[in-house]
């Protein structure tokens, strides 16, 4: 009888040890099944992204899309016989929209990606080693955060010799990596105090192995959730700055530069096709990203996730 | 008056005037007739291009189109209604200045160089001799002007008692003070130019050396009411034009302490040259919101009568918003012209609370090709060709660039038919005076542009399809333009036009440039001289057709930095004593027009009308020339001074 109890307990322990925790993907799927918005958003988002990249890929070239034809300026969809008419430079809005959206997505992927790479390296270093290193790094991050980002970006864009996409990405990244660093550092700090890291340290495992093989996998869920959410923020920043004229130059189409058409009262009132498509696309992309991102965030947090 | 305006950069001119309803037969001649008897025969570059027949015009075809365009809107707008009296509630005129930028806020004539500042100064002060409708010197100003029989001196006699806004009496010593500032060796402004005859005043060299404590050529009478200015050589006939001689006084009692404190170079930094400036004009500067707006109050002591309105609000409004603001009734009038590129908004919204007035204003835009640098010397600076062998120095390149610009299309589409391609280097405002009807300007012809390049040896093309330099190296040009509604549409099209003839023209900085940055780096300095090869600039020019102010080798406004012995000789001829002979003068002007065309110093952009929105509340708005009003539009806000005039009623 006693023997039985023990074996039962052992069995339970064995089962607990042998069952892997559900993967991120499974959890996400479980989450999606119970959140219709997120579910639809995911498919819309995938569809939009694939369509944008495929569309932009199959269009002949940016140069053709950007080719001006003043005779055709401001044609409505009916008049021009094309899907979305033409803008004030006589460019067809529909193909322009694909190239513009691709550029905007590229920029936001690049900005978010680079700032997460920086955030991971700096944040994990800071969180794992702690002490003076942590203190120094975090004070630098604090100082950097205090700089009014928008004003700084506008000033630097204004004095830049040449407005290139690379430069724009650099400026945006310069002011987005701090938040990622803090996030990663907090998670790393939390993990560092857990028994598995302490045990590993006691066993004499090398730091690099602890960081990359043991700690990083435990940060993935947080990183993924935040990555998706900050994509939306990056798109918002790009469109905002470009709309105000402090973003990409006039030779690089983006959703923000397309929205500039709406700054003219004539276009706003009489020519919806010059700005509405870009606006709708921005709204769709940002909404979808937010719904999906929120679902991911709930997945990353055991207290919020759907049990 | 207003020589300064001849040269004043019209800041946002941008959307310039110009434009054109272009289908008229006369314009077709411009487009298809690349050979003209004066120009085409001599330069040998258009062999085999275009029809062989030559058409001799009695009137320049572009002027015919310009006349048609100017009939679209009247010069005067008369609205019925009660006229307000001083002191009535709401007796304030609100004037919108269409702009893309803030104004620098220097309200001192000797130091100011930007057009919005100039407009504000026009309200606050004025030149002391009036202009006739023909823009010769008139008799209704504070002073009368008379010339020596041999034109070696000029005499000014005050005919009214005038007071500065702070109550100090105005004397001609204040004009002497302006001369002392401008000719001072430390002077950093842009007015010390031969166009105002400063360097030939007797005693100026000694004054600049520091060996004299005054300019001996300026002789005041004992009561300071008569001034004679002696010149070392006779004045050219251009001196007859209003504005050529500097007659903008500077208050000595007000600014001399500033100069003692800061020096001439830093005069513009002091509050007294800015928001505390005093003038003697009809409007007193009351409150200044830096860069945005100026509130004026009426000058009760103005010598020609108090303005009928109590206050005048001058406020900068963005090009794209100015017509919405007019629709909303936020302003009574646009004090500067509404950009032609925004004209479509007027048509589409069809507002019923304002009407348009138009005139052929003294504005002109150019596509400049910068081939030199201003090199400082003892008399300011001298345009000097650069020796960097950049292909922009090649005449064939400049001519090809000029002929590849499709101006007519832009005139119809972007400028909404309010302008026509510029027919000539002359300013449309006074083009009738000396125009050679057979110099037809840079008509659009891609084949001609291509053949010019091919003949000049630019035949090799690189892997990207662009033409290579003569030595086989890749060549490209940097292009700059300021940000405004015209350039937003036109600039990509220009770049495209040029890439169609295989020239790699790149947009410098990758975007249009904010106005003040553009002004500082391209127009007023040589900061970007090495890097920017082509740029657009628009001017609000003066009434004097003489080209010295814009093209002379010592003039900062010579934006091409072009100069050559032949060119100098032509300019000298126009300014010489021989020019008192009308035939000689005409011939010199003709030679100048041919030279500008053949050497492609700059490509003139458009000729057109400037349009102004006038609210129905405002009465008596009139752009017609009348002596005593300068009739540049902002001057009509003198309203009520000499003519029946303008008021705001409260409805």
Give the per-residue pLDDT at B474: 92
Give the per-residue pLDDT at B23: 26
Q: Between B488, B491, B509, which is nearest A160 by CB? A: B509
| Separation between Cα atoms, residue B6 and residue B128, nearest integer Å | 17
pLDDT in tens, B237-271: 778 777 788 999 999 999 999 999 999 999 999 99
Give the per-residue pLDDT at B251: 95
Query: Above 90 in pLDDT, residue A49?
Result: yes
What is the DSSP track for B20-39?
A: --TTSHHHHHHHH----TTT
Cβ atoms of B41 and B228 closer than 8 Å: no
| Separation between Cα atoms, residue A37 and residue A288, nearest integer Å | 8
Asked if B409's CB is within 8 angstroms of A70's CB, the reply is yes
Asked if A264's CB is within 8 angstroms of B413's CB, the reply is no
Which residue of B327, B414, B465, B510 to mutate against A (max A Cβ within 10 Å)?
B510
Query: Above 50 in pLDDT, residue A287?
Result: yes
Give the per-residue pLDDT at A6: 53
Asked if B511's CB is within 8 angstroms of A265's CB, the reply is no
3-state secondary structure of B602: strand
Q: What is the mean pLDDT of residues B409-422?
A: 91
DSSP state of A302: T
Spell out which residues of chain B touch residue A162, defining contact as CB-CB under 8 Å.
508-510
Give the per-residue pLDDT at A61: 76
Under the banding of pLDDT at 50, 70 and 90, the label for residue B15 is very low
DSSP state of B236: P
Please tell me the distance in Å from A72's CA to the nearest CA on chain B.
Answer: 9
Cβ atoms of A178 and A152 closer than 8 Å: no
Asked if A163's CB is within 8 angstroms of B510's CB, the reply is yes
Chain A interface includes B330 (CB < 8 A): no
Cβ atoms of B74 and B358 closer than 8 Å: yes
Q: Which residue of B has its CA nearest to A68?
A: B493
Give the per-residue pLDDT at B82: 60
Asked if A252's CB is within 8 angstroms of B510's CB, the reply is yes
What is the DSSP track for B348-390?
A: HH--SSEEEEEE--SEEEEEEE--EEEEEETTEEEEEE--S--
Query: How far is the CA of A101 from the CAs of A75, A93, A156, B375, in angstroms?
Result: 21, 12, 24, 48
pLDDT in tens, B582-623: 889 889 999 999 999 999 999 999 998 889 898 887 777 777
Under the banding of pLDDT at 50, 70 and 90, the label for residue A264 is confident
Q: Kindly report which listed range (B306-310, B361-365, B634-638) carries the lowest average pLDDT score.
A: B634-638
Give the per-residue pLDDT at B18: 28
Chain A interface includes B492 (CB < 8 A): yes
Calculate the CA B243 to chain-centre distance.
Answer: 13
Q: Which residue of B has its CA nearest to A268?
A: B345
Q: Between A70, A164, A252, which is nearest B414 by CB? A: A70
Q: Which residue of A has its CA nearest to B413?
A: A70
More confident residue, B566 or B14: B566
| Separation between Cα atoms, residue B481 and residue B497, nearest integer Å | 16
Give the per-residue pLDDT at B642: 26
| Separation between Cα atoms, residue B225 and residue B142, nearest integer Å | 11
3-state secondary structure of B548: helix
| CA angle, B177 then B182 then B187, to 5° | 120
Question: Cα-Cα-Cα-Cα dihedral of A215, A217, A218, A221, to 10°?
Answer: 150
More confident residue, B374 or B154: B154
Nearest partner of B152 among B197, B121, B195, judged by Cα: B197
Query: Above 60 in pLDDT, residue B46?
Result: no
pTM of the model: 0.81
Q: Which residue of A has its CA nearest to B494?
A: A68
Percentage of residues in chain B having pLDDT higher than 70: 84
| CA angle, A103 then A108 then A111, to 5° | 120
Spell out which residues of chain B touch residue A245, defining contact as CB-CB under 8 Å.
483, 511
Percentage of residues in chain B having pLDDT higher than 90: 38
Under the banding of pLDDT at 50, 70 and 90, the label for residue B644 is very low
Spell out which residues of chain A touch residue B509, defining contact as CB-CB under 8 Å.
160-163, 249
Give the per-residue pLDDT at B88: 67
Nearest partner of B84 among B641, B617, B629, B638, judged by Cα: B617
Nearest partner of B175 among B251, B279, B124, B111, judged by Cα: B251
Query: Above 70 in pLDDT, residue B448?
Result: yes
Chain A interface includes B348 (CB < 8 A): yes
Under the banding of pLDDT at 50, 70 and 90, the label for residue B510 is confident
Across chain B, mean pLDDT equals 81
More confident residue, B110 or A306: B110
Give the per-residue pLDDT at A137: 94
């Amino acid at each position: 009888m006693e023997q039985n109890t023990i074996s039962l307990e052992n069995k339970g322990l064995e089962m607990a040890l042998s069952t892997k925790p559900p993967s991120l993907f499974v959890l996400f799927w479980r989450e999606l099944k119970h959140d219709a918005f997120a579910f639809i958003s995911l498919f819309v988002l995938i569809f939009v992204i694939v369509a944008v990249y495929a569309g932009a890929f199959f269009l002949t070239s940016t140069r053709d899309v950007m080719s001006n034809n003043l005779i055709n300026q401001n044609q409505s969809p009916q008049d021009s016989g094309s899907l979305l008419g033409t803008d004030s430079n006589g460019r067809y809005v529909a193909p322009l929209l694909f190239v513009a959206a691709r550029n905007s997505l590229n920029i936001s992927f690049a900005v978010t990606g680079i700032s997460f790479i920086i955030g991971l390296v700096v944040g994990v270093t800071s969180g794992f080693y702690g002490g003076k290193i942590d203190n120094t790094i975090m004070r630098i991050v604090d100082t950097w955060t205090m700089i009014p980002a928008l004003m700084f970006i506008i000033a630097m864009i204004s004095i830049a010799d040449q407005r290139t996409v690379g430069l724009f990405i650099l400026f945006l990244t310069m002011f987005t990596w701090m938040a990622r660093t803090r996030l990663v550092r907090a998670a790393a700090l939390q993990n560092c105090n857990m028994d598995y890291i302490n045990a590993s340290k006691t066993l004499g495992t090398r730091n690099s192995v602890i960081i990359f093989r043991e700690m990083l996998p435990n940060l993935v869920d947080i990183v993924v959730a935040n990555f998706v959410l900050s994509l939306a923020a990056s798109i918002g920043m790009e469109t905002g700055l470009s709309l105000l004229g402090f973003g990409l130059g006039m030779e690089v189409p983006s959703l923000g530069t397309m929205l500039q058409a709406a700054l003219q009262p004539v276009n706003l009132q009489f020519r919806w096709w010059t700005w509405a498509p870009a606006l709708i696309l921005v709204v769709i992309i940002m909404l979808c990203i937010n719904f999906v991102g929120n679902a991911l965030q709930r997945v990353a947090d055991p207290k919020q996730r759907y049990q | 008056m207003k020589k300064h305006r001849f040269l004043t950069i019209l800041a946002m001119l941008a959307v310039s005037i110009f434009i054109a309803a272009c289908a008229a037969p006369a314009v077709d001649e411009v487009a298809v007739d690349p050979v003209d008897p004066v120009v085409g025969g001599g330069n040998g570059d258009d062999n085999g291009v275009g029809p062989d027949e030559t058409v001799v015009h009695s009137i320049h075809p572009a002027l015919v189109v310009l006349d048609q365009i100017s009939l679209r809107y009247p010069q005067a707008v008369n609205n019925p209604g009660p006229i307000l009296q001083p002191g009535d509630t709401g007796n304030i005129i609100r004037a919108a200045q269409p702009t893309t930028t803030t104004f620098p806020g220097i309200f001192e004539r000797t130091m100011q160089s930007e057009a919005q500042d100039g407009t504000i100064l026009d309200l606050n002060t004025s030149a002391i001799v009036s202009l006739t409708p023909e823009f010769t010197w008139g008799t209704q100003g504070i002073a009368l002007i008379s010339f020596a029989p041999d034109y070696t001196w000029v005499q000014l006699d005050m005919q009214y008692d005038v007071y500065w806004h702070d109550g100090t009496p105005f004397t001609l010593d204040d004009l002497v003070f302006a001369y002392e500032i401008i000719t001072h060796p430390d002077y950093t402004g842009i007015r010390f130019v031969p166009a105002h005859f400063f360097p030939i005043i007797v005693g100026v060299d000694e004054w600049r050396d520091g060996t004299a404590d005054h300019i001996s050529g300026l002789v005041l009478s004992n009561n300071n009411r008569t001034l004679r200015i002696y010149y070392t050589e006779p004045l050219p006939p251009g001196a007859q034009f209003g504005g050529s001689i500097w007659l903008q006084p500077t208050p000595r009692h007000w600014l001399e302490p500033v100069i003692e404190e800061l020096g001439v170079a830093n005069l513009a930094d002091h509050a007294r040259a800015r928001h505390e400036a005093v003038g003697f004009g009809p409007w007193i500067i009351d409150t200044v919101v830096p860069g945005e707006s100026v509130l004026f109050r009426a000058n009760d002591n103005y010598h020609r009568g108090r303005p009928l309105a109590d206050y005048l609000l001058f406020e900068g409004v963005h090009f794209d918003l100015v017509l919405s603001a007019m629709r909303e009734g936020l302003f009574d009038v646009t004090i500067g012209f509404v950009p032609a590129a925004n004209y479509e908004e007027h048509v589409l919204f069809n507002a019923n609370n304002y009407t348009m007035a138009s005139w052929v204003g003294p504005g002109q835009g150019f596509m400049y090709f910068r081939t030199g640098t201003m090199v400082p010397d003892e008399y300011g600076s001298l345009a000097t060709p650069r020796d960097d062998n950049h292909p922009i120095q090649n005449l064939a390149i400049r001519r090809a660039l000029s002929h590849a610009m499709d101006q007519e299309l832009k005139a119809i589409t972007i400028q909404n038919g309010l302008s026509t391609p510029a027919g000539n280097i002359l300013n449309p405002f006074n083009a009738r005076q000396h125009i050679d009807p057979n110099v037809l300007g840079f008509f659009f012809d891609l084949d001609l542009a291509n053949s010019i390049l091919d003949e000049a040896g630019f035949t090799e093309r690189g892997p990207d399809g662009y033409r290579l330099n003569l030595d086989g190296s890749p060549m490209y040009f940097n292009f700059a333009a300021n940000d405004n509604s015209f350039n937003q549409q036109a600039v990509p099209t220009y770049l495209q036009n040029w890439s169609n003839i295989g020239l790699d023209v790149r947009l410098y900085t990758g975007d249009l440039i904010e106005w003040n940055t553009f002004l500082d780096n391209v127009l007023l300095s040589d900061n970007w001289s090495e890097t920017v090869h082509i740029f657009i600039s628009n001017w609000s020019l003066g009434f004097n057709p003489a080209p010295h102010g814009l093209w002379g080798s010592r003039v900062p406004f010579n934006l091409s930095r072009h100069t050559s012995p032949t060119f100098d000789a032509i300019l000298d001829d126009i300014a010489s004593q021989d020019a008192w002979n009308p035939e000689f003068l005409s011939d010199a002007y003709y030679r100048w027009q041919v030279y500008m065309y053949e050497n492609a110093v700059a490509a003139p952009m458009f000729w057109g009308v400037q349009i102004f929105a006038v609210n129905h509340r405002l009465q008596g708005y009139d752009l017609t020339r009348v002596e005593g009003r300068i009739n540049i539009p902002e001057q009509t806000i003198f309203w009520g001074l000499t003519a029946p005039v303008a008021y705001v009623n409260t409805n």
